[in-house]
Structure 1
Amino acid sequence: METPEPPTSTTDTPTDPVADYTLVKLADVVDVNDNDLTDLGDEINYTFQVTNTGNTTLTDVSITDPMLADLNITITCNPTTLAPGASVTCEADAPYVITQTDVDNGQVINTATATATPPPGVETPEPPTSTTDTPTDPVPGITLVKTVDATEVVLGQEVTYTFVATNSGNTTLTGVLVEEVEFTGAGELSQLACDPAQPATLAPAAFVTCTATYTVTQADVDNGGVDNTASATGTPPSGPPISDQDGAELPSNPEAGYTLVKLADVVDVNDNDLTDLGDEINYTFQVTNTGNTTLTDVSITDPMLADLNITITCNPTTLAPGASVTCEADAPYVITQTDVDNGQVINTATATATPPPGVETPEPPTSTTDTPTDPVADYTLVKLADVVDVNDNDLTDLGDEINYTFQVTNTGNTTLTDVSITDPMLADLNITITCNPTTLAPGASVTCEADAPYVITQTDVDNGQVINTATATATPPPGVETPEPPTSTTDTPTDPVAALSLDKQVSRVEDVNGNGVVDAGDRITYVFVVTNTGTVVLTDVSVDDPKLEALGITVRCDPTTLRPGASVTCEADSPYSITQADTTAGRVVNTASAVGDAPAGVVPPTPATDTVSTTIGSPVPLPVRPGLPVTGAHGVGLGLTALALLGVGGAMIVVRRRSEVTISRG
């Protein structure tokens, strides 16, 4: 049997599909500038949570946020399909940066809308919206800084005040205005010139600069300065206006100060081109007000001039700042000997003045002049020699005395001390030279004297002079150049006279043939007494006897040097033998001469001659003892004694010869 088509039956049970969803928007602030404020430049990260609260599946889930969209910020939801009860968090691809407007408004209000598509035939619900209100932190602020381009008031100076009003908050300020609050200057302050012009609108950190100028008056200096206070006012987006004040103090710093310059002008009164005794110094004193206050009662104190009753006058005695006055002494200062000796005139003056009341009195200034003098140390020495003719022979010779004096004169312009004389020749004889006084003012002299005379020596006579040099020494004041010590030499001439005498004698006749008479073959012994009758020493004394020399007989003198008055007996080394010619002649005649050398420069003595004649046929005389030679320290006395005795003996011989052998002198 054919199977029939199976029957079907359909039921249509209706469901209740409901489409619905919610939107929750979140705002997370990032404090970019890390100032603990939500303000300009900070960022807001927005997230959007969509939840399917219906019982149908939603597709094409998306977010619309006009504020972010205006900034080209995209919001992405992933996934975009939501089963009932499911959620998705949609995110913006960039944060929102808070603007100045947001800060000024005090908040960032942002609304977003979510959209989604329900299944077909299911009613589309109203898209949900979500709004965030992120508060910002508006902090209005204004700061005024007022400065001046000077540190203190100076009379007549133009100063510039600068006013800088700065928006120191984080909100915009409108109607910003800078104004003077208080000004203490005695003059007029100029109008403010501002950039930008007032009233101004200032964004945070923006500023307006205003300037004004002012010319300082003397009253400002006197009042101690100028104070200037100003205010800056501005209106924030909300709340009351805000303001700030600042002042600029321009002190006058009243300071009293003055200087003193002392000048010394030298007048060469004696016109010697030196600054020395009797010259004059004209002092002037220039006082200058170097402070910024008026000075009164200007005066000068100068102790050195005051001691001389010299008055100093200042006219005027009141000085404005910067002014000067030259004060003058009513008489010059006359340079003293002490000033010359010191090499300078040091003089210190002090200026005094009175500042205004309340102003500290400065230390009075001093000024010192050091006027150099021209100390010249110099002196002369004149040595004098006065001869005393002790032996009263009208000759300057042995034993006479010389009295030396030494005149020292100060020819410089400084005082000399410790005046003394050095005389080596006198010092060797322990003769002391005394100067009294030993201090000499310029132009003064002192005569220094030796405590004993100088006794002329034989050497002095032989030299024909006594040359003696002395040196004067003296001490100038400290710092003055010591001059070359002057010397003075005296040349005292002596009277050197070279002279000698000869006494030729027959000391013995040897009777060779023993017949008792003088005749041929007998031998005669001659002696020669030479005496220095001058005032100088004679050297190389000798006797020339031609008759003896012809026979090779030598006459020897020992010594050959004779001091004045000394004698020497010279002897022939052999006797003379009487010849037949002598017998024929009837006598033996023999002449000798004595010579000697005088000191250099002295006229040599005239040779002394003496002749002895022995008569042939006369009785042989008795031997005669001749005079002895005399030398040494007692030569003068002994020589004179010997000469005296010789004279007597000679006379005796002559008498005896005449009475016995008729010996005669030719």
Structure 2
Amino acid sequence: MRKTIRSFLSSVIAMLLLVSCSLTGGAADAAVAQATPALPAVVTIELGMLADTSVPFNTVGQVIKYTFSVKNSGTASTPGPIIVTGATCPEIITVGNLDASLDPGETVVCTSSYTITQADLDRGSVTTTAMATVNNVNSNQATTTVATVPPVILKLTKTANPTTYDRAGQTITYTYVITNVGAATLGPAQFTVTDTGIPTPINCGEATATLASNATVTCSATYTTTQADMGVASLSTNATAAGGGAPTSPPVGATVTKSATTVTPSASSSSHTVIEGEWIWQIARCYGVDPNKLAADNKDKIPDPSKIKPGVVLTVNNPGGYSKFYGPPCITFVSHTLQAGDTWTILGQKYSADPTVLQLANATTSLTSTGSVIKLRIPNYSAGTVTTLPTQTKALTLTITANPLTYDQAAQVITFTYVIKNSGTGNLGPAQFTVSGGLLGAAPLNCGDAAASIAPGATITCTSAYVITQEDLTLNSISHQATASGGGAGPSQAASVTINKVTKLLTLTIAANPLTYTQAGQIITFTYAIKNSGSVNLGPSQFTITGGLHGATPINCGDAAATILPGATLTCSASYTITDADLAVPTLSHMVIASGGGAAPSQPASITIAKQ
């Protein structure tokens, strides 16, 4: 007996050792793994906030626009609603996989706006704090601060004459124009200009000057170049204006460039990089070469000499071989305050330029607004040297736009806008400019006045209206192609625009609960599903259900500014109470239609409930 018990115990110990050895390997690890619970799936809401600061905020009434990105950065999906205090959020079904849940990784973008107050301007900033909530789960708190600045009341312009210098002791005259761009009158006061290049403040106007809204006061100061200035490429200083109790104006600058003093060519050929405002004849005059030869030598770079572009590097052969060599700069720009009686002849004398060339170089500039500041392009070295003028080209280009770009029903009006541009080098007109062809029919459209003039680069604009026909509804799109003519130019290259047909369609389905009735006072709940069966968004709008057992009063379905995407539905419900009269009939039929979003009313939908 004792031996049997000893044998049994030995067997048990051996089995336990075998199990222990087995669990030490993979099976033990598996057992441990099975014993470790998996982490639960959680919803984590992450909120990002951004303000649009693309413009300075300096006026009461300006609107700051905010966007909020609400992201599910967790591991579980959650239904809505999505709420960001003060913001408008789209439905969850419009993002991600378009289902009714905010899934992990999906983001919804909400928007809001805030109107600037005087207190915000006085404080110098607007701080906004927000938090998102999705199905009772709160996000982090996001904060953003937008800086505000006092409104600009004084505006300063500063110009230099001349805009180049080539020696010490040369006098530069700076002209300053202070403008009251505010609504209230400033003064009487002494307005002043402080310039970093002038040692003392400059009194501008009388000591008791008054500036009405948009009025100006002008003053000037002189600067004498020094030997030290010859060691730099340019002189640039900033100036500000003050006075009348207004904040100091934003700083403005004017640059005066050191020019080369040499007047003789240094080689048999040289390179010239075209700058903004230069043209082939002026460059030829500057280097003393034949303009036709200069154009021929560079025909691979400028196939059309009338359309020379900044940045092109020209090869100038034999500078000084045709006429006197001057060297760059070939043109300069000056700001000029128009005086009563200014003419191109007077300005030519003032700036040492041939009046005819000066006028051609500034073809889009008018001399009629006395007191205004104009920017003149000065053809250097042209005074007394003009014998022939460049040939002027006459050309028109046309662009067409349509509003709206889609149509969905007969009698809809499409407005076409035509922009005719003088793409040549000479003035066009006075003449009647026209647009012809396409949906305009046989009669051309008069564009602008009967004696309109268009300077090079300038445009004239007109519009026409087209009414959608029943035949247009059988097409998928309509194309409108036209050309422009007038002023001795044209017809232009054809321009076209296409408008596309879209479908606006509502369909309606009804369900009832319950489908039977037994007594007066019983409540029947009707559920309506309005579907956008068309190809474009419908709304924002108030969608309604009309007719049937509801009587004459429409049932509002959804928000007052609901939008239904193509293929999406909007659901709502309404109740009806069974009356004594209903018990006298075996069935009740309920037929209604849906309306809203700019679409025609839906086809009627109906449902019947039976008396038991």
Output the TM-score relative to the length of structure 2.
0.27
Output the TM-score relative to the length of structure 1.
0.26
Higher Rg of the two aligned structures: 1
